[in-house]
Amino acid sequence: MSATLRSLRFYLVVGLAQGLLLMWAVLYSGLSGVAMSALAAGLLLGGGLLQLLAEQRRQPRTWISMLLVALGAAGLVWACSGLPFSLGVGFGVMAGLLLMTLLGATLLQGRDDLWRRLLGNGAWVLLALPMPWLAQWLFKLWIQHRHLDPFKSGLLSLAFFAAPTLAFSGAMFLGSLWRARRRAQVA
């Protein structure tokens, strides 16, 4: 199997695992709303960090940092749950979560060219962020057209939760592929 297909498989496995765990958390766990939000933030940001560091996925420090970012994200969401909700608070928490993930991934890639890599990682994450909403919107259009209930079928439930995470993973894979080809052209 080529390196590109192995890399694609890694991104898809991460996206599918995130979707499965989100489906379990929402449908079957019985967690409170705050605990569910904290778990979802940890899953999504830990997986996002892992995807940003896909080339270093065999190093134990990558997995340790993924767990630390996931715990930090869950802790931040849990701590901010007592704040009165407004758009400013919501966007502030989201910006803090994204910044925590980007800084963690950038610092683990080394200290040389820190700002360039931080901006590069941030650009790819910002380019990939609309993909989950696009996938969710297309899925909702499809189920409305077919008059289906995604929560009455296990496969449709999985598609409801995994389609956005798989779309983000696909966009992150395309970003890593573009960066690898660009590095090969420069070298």
Per-residue model confidence as pLDDT tens digits over 88-122:
888 988 999 999 999 999 998 888 888 998 999 99
pTM for this prediction: 0.89
The pLDDT of residue 99 is: 92
Q: Are 12 and 20 in contact (CB under 8 A)?
A: no
Question: Under a CB-based contact definition with an 8 Å cutoff, are residues 118 and 106 in contact?
Answer: yes
pLDDT, position 14:
95
Contact 177, 4 (CB under 8 A): yes
Q: Return the ∠ at Cα 49 (arms to 48 and 50), rounded to 5°.
A: 90
Whole-number average pLDDT of the chain: 90
Predicted local distance difference test score (pLDDT) of residue 50 = 93
